[in-house]
């Protein structure tokens, strides 16, 4: 199972939009996908219309506290091949409570290790906005980070995420995809690219353009591929999916070539 975490230390940059739609795109391609909402604001959980009657016992908080197995809180969705783990506001409190133990940032990774590796091909994690113990837990197990940039402020916030990444993952055993998102004003897009260049942040091939339909998918079960399959938002999400698949497949190809 490959773990893909969508993250930046800034709200509104497009994390939940990308996490939800990328998960749906990978599932549509036939992969078995698990989407994990790790944001206490539970945006993805709401998009999947899963909040009705949901208590913290049905969310990631229960296995993190040791009150349930992870498999007890994996829910199906209306999307074929796509399952998900809900979040709840209680996750924030949980984050505050764990910091006294030394290895608190490993807890989520340990819970994920309960899963049989063959059960899912991909785990997509929607990380929280703030530097927090929950963000550290989201960083610890990831194979790939997707970082959306929708403003020059996102470039500044990236530095905060990056220093946390260096602390938690000193071995540098992960991939990074820095993705431009929702930059519909040409001047702003240019400034963001310049700032990224100055900071030596390489920009991914894929870009998610501004797409009004993407901003409305929350009312329609969360996936642009179902709601507006011909939109530029859908095209761009499929492009990102292919970049993610290529990244993991080329690594596999390299291993075979070196064998
Ligand atoms: N490419 C895009 N085109 C249009 N709207 C977008 C795009 N990406 C994100 N949005 C909108 O921007 C807002 C913030 O995105 P969201 O995914 O919620 O960010 P985050 O999870 O990082 O806080 C949402 O209203 C979302 O619908
Ligand atoms: Mg979000």
**What's the rounded Cα separation, in Å, for the pair 113 and 127?**
18
The per-residue pLDDT for 100 is 87
Q: Is any atom of ligand 1 closer than 6 Å to the C-beta of 211? A: yes
Q: Give me ligand 1 centre to Cα 12, in Å.
A: 6
CATH topology of domain 2-252: Rossmann fold (3.40.50)
Q: For residue 180, give the ligand nearest its CA.
A: 1
pLDDT in tens, 63-106: 999 999 999 999 999 999 999 999 999 999 999 999 988 999 99
In tens, the pLDDT along 195-225 reads: 999 999 999 999 999 999 999 988 777 799 9
Neighbours of 258 (CB within 10 A): 6
Q: What is the pLDDT of residue 218?
A: 80
Q: Which numbered ligand comes closest to the C-alpha of 44? A: 2
Contact 98, 106 (CB under 8 A): no
pLDDT digits (tens, 9 = 90+) for 227-255: 999 999 999 999 999 999 999 997 555 55
State pTM to two decimals. Answer: 0.95
> Which residue ranges make up each domain of the chain?
2-252
């Amino acid at each position: 199972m490959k773990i893909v975490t969508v993250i930046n230390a800034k709200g509104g940059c497009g994390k939940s939009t990308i996490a939800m739609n990328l998960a749906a795109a990978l599932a549509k391609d036939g992969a078995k996908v698990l989407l994990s909402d790790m944001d206490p604001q539970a945006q993805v959980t709401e998009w999947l219309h899963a909040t009705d009657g949901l208590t913290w016992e049905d969310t990631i908080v229960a296995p993190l506290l040791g009150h349930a197995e992870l498999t007890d809180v994996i829910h199906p969705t209306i999307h074929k091949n796509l399952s998900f783990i809900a979040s709840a506001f209680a996750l924030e409190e949980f984050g505050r409570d764990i910091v006294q133990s030394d290895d608190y940032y490993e807890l989520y990774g340990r819970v994920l290790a309960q899963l049989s590796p063959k059960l899912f091909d991909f785990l997509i994690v929607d990380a929280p906005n703030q530097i927090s113990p929950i963000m550290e837990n989201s960083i610890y197990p990831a194979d790939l980070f997707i970082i959306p940039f929708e403003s020059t402020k996102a470039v500044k916030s990236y530095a905060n995420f990056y220093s946390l990444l260096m602390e938690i993952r000193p071995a540098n055993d992960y991939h990074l995809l820095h993705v431009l998102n929702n930059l519909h004003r040409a001047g702003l897009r240019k400034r963001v690219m310049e700032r990224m260049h100055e900071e030596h942040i390489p920009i991914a091939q894929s870009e998610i353009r501004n797409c009004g339909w993407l901003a409305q998918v929350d009312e329609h079960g969360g996936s642009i591929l179902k709601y507006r399959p011909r939109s530029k938002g859908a095209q761009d999400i499929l492009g990102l999916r292919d970049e993610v698949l290529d990244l993991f497949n080329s690594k596999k190809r390299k291993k075979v070539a070196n064998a």
